[in-house]
Amino acid sequence: MITDTFDNLSEAIINPGVKEDAVAVDACIITFSDKIEKFVVENFVSGEIAALWCATGKTPVYLIEKNGKRFAFYKTYVGAPITVGLIEDATFELKCKKFILFGGAGCLDKEIAHGKVMVPTAGYRDEGTSYHYMPASDYVDMPNAPVVEAFMKEFGIPHVLGKTWTTDSFYRETRNNFEKRKADGCISVEMESAGVQAMCTFRGLDLYAFFTSGDLLDAPEWDDRGKNYTKGGQHDVGHFDIALALADYVTEEGR
């Protein structure tokens, strides 16, 4: 455990709320990649429906329409505080309860995760944001991992389930900590998911997350879609196709 700053006994001074003319969407898809954002805007977007503002400027929120559904899409920034803050802002601008978060992550166990989508089952809380949304603990569970797993199985996408290590400092991922987290069952390291999941649990939102660390092996249907764009790693546009299909999947009636 790191710190205990969770306060559920008094009101927050600022709350996001929901504005009266918030835009209704079925789900919101969030990327970290500027290249994926550019690709999506050029090929999928039907318009801009909202804007999220912070000190660094404007984050446009776009509309994607598929199978009679409406999905929001925007690019976030690296790190739990800003990623969480923008989702909080998005819940003010959008009527939305389901969020798809995808991006690149470091792979802690290449023997089991190389060439596969990594589906996080719990996030090790080596960051600060999550401690404002839930009591101190080593991990935050990711309750929708079974849903993401079921989607991956149904669509034949190679994947692996495991814990993830959410850190605040990529230059302080030391060898000893790497070995501890790997021994504890972590297969990936990134900077957002524990904080985002803690916030979503606190706010009653559904988070569906997956990470990639390179090309998806044995999945030509997905890899071929991005053959004219950046392949592998966090900028592979084929990973957006997976995110969009996942958004469609989790918004089917009964899910």
Whether 1 is in a domain gets the answer no
Whether 15 is in a domain gets the answer no
Which has more confidence, 221 or 144? 144
Under the banding of pLDDT at 50, 70 and 90, the label for residue 17 is confident
Query: For the chain, how are helix, strand and coil distributed in percent, rounded to 5?
Result: 35, 30, 35
Q: Which pLDDT score, from 0 to 100, does residue 228 have?
A: 47
Whether 193 is in a domain gets the answer yes
- Residue range(s) defining the domain that contains residue 227: 23-250
Whether 4 is in a domain gets the answer no
Least confident of 4-13, 17-26, 32-41, 201-210: 4-13
Whether 9 is in a domain gets the answer no
Whether 99 is in a domain gets the answer yes
Residue 228 tokens, joined? 């004219």
Whether 46 is in a domain gets the answer yes
Whether 157 is in a domain gets the answer yes
* Helix/strand/coil for 100: strand
**Over 70: is that where the pLDDT of 5 sits?**
yes
Residue pair 70/62 in contact (Cβ under 8 Å)? The answer is no
Q: Which pLDDT score, from 0 to 100, does residue 232 have?
A: 52
Under the banding of pLDDT at 50, 70 and 90, the label for residue 221 is low
pTM of the model: 0.90
Q: What is the pLDDT of the chain when averaged over all its residues? A: 89
Overall domain count for the chain: 1
What's the CATH number where 61 sits?
Answer: 3.40.50.1580
How buried is residue 226: exposed, middle or buried, by Cβ count under 10 Å (0-12/13-18/19+)?
Answer: buried
Helix H segments across 32-138?
A: 34-43, 80-93, 110-113
